[in-house]
Amino acid sequence: MSRIGTVLAFIGIGLTISACGYNTIPTLQEQAKARWSDVQNQYQRRADLIPNLVATVQGYAAQEKNVLTAVVEARAKATQITVNASDLTDPDKLKAFQDAQAQLTGALGRLLAVSENYPDLKSNANFLALQSQLEGTENRIAVARRDYIEAVRVYNTELKTFPGALWAATFFRANKPMAEFTAGDNAQAPPQVKF
């Protein structure tokens, strides 16, 4: 075979392999892992804001020690539970992470509700800035979670559909479906409005 024929054969093989979907599973897996990193980044941003928020509220509402303690403890628990990219196929680890973050969200909600009782705190520039940053971070968390859920959906679908299922059954047997975020138990209940 001539040199040109060999080069053309390699080009043909390369095009065939690239068009067959072999790279799709690893590409989608890496995209889902990257989205998970975004989720973790936003939760870390929130965890980093909490000490400043607690310190600001503490100066005005020292008698609300129980609420402040609950926030600090929830933050500590939430930052202790980590889910690495290699753990994304374990739904139990993801649920534990999700539960810890939900506890922190609840504690923060109670902290912000306490601030309503202190007009001086509500008008404090530091508190208002921290509250705004926290609200923005909560929005970023929601977006990062949505993006992760979509990336996992695409990855998991690829593992189950043709031709990805063929690659998953042969070359990528170790690749398991990734766990998704799920709505908390109380998410289905309508909120109670009290006047």
CATH of residue 119's domain is 1.20.1440.20
The verdict on residue 2 lying in a domain is no
* Residue 83 confidence (pLDDT): 92
Q: What is the mean pLDDT of residues 137-158?
A: 96
* Residue 6 confidence (pLDDT): 85
- Of the listed ranges 6-20, 57-71, 75-89, 153-167, the one predicted with least confidence: 6-20
Max intra-chain CA distance, the chain: 87
- Quick one: which of 40, 31, 26, 28 has its CA closest to 181? 40
The verdict on residue 79 lying in a domain is yes
Pairwise CA distance, residues 186 & 64, whole Å: 26
Total count of residues recorded for the chain: 195
* Residue 188 confidence (pLDDT): 52
The verdict on residue 37 lying in a domain is yes
Please report, for residues 4, 5, 12, 29, 34, the alpha-carbon distance to residue 1 in angstroms, rounded to integers and kept in the order given.
8, 6, 15, 39, 44
Number of domains in the chain: 1
Pairwise CA distance, residues 21 & 17, whole Å: 7
What is the domain extent for residue 115? 23-183
| pLDDT tens sequence across 50-98 | 999 888 888 888 778 888 899 999 999 999 999 998 999 999 999 999 9
Pairwise CA distance, residues 142 & 165, whole Å: 31
Q: Is 108's pLDDT higher than 50?
A: yes
The structure's pTM equals 0.79
Pairwise CA distance, residues 23 & 28, whole Å: 9
The verdict on residue 103 lying in a domain is yes
Whether the bond between 177 and the residue before it is cis, its omega within 30 degrees of 0, is no
* Residue 117 confidence (pLDDT): 85
What band does 194 get if pLDDT is binned at 50, 70 and 90?
A: very low
Pairwise CA distance, residues 30 & 195, whole Å: 49
Contacting residues for 154 by C-beta, under 8 A, at least 6 apart: 28, 31, 32
What band does 185 get if pLDDT is binned at 50, 70 and 90?
A: low
The verdict on residue 15 lying in a domain is no
Going 42 to 45 to 51 to 56, the CA torsion angle's sign is negative
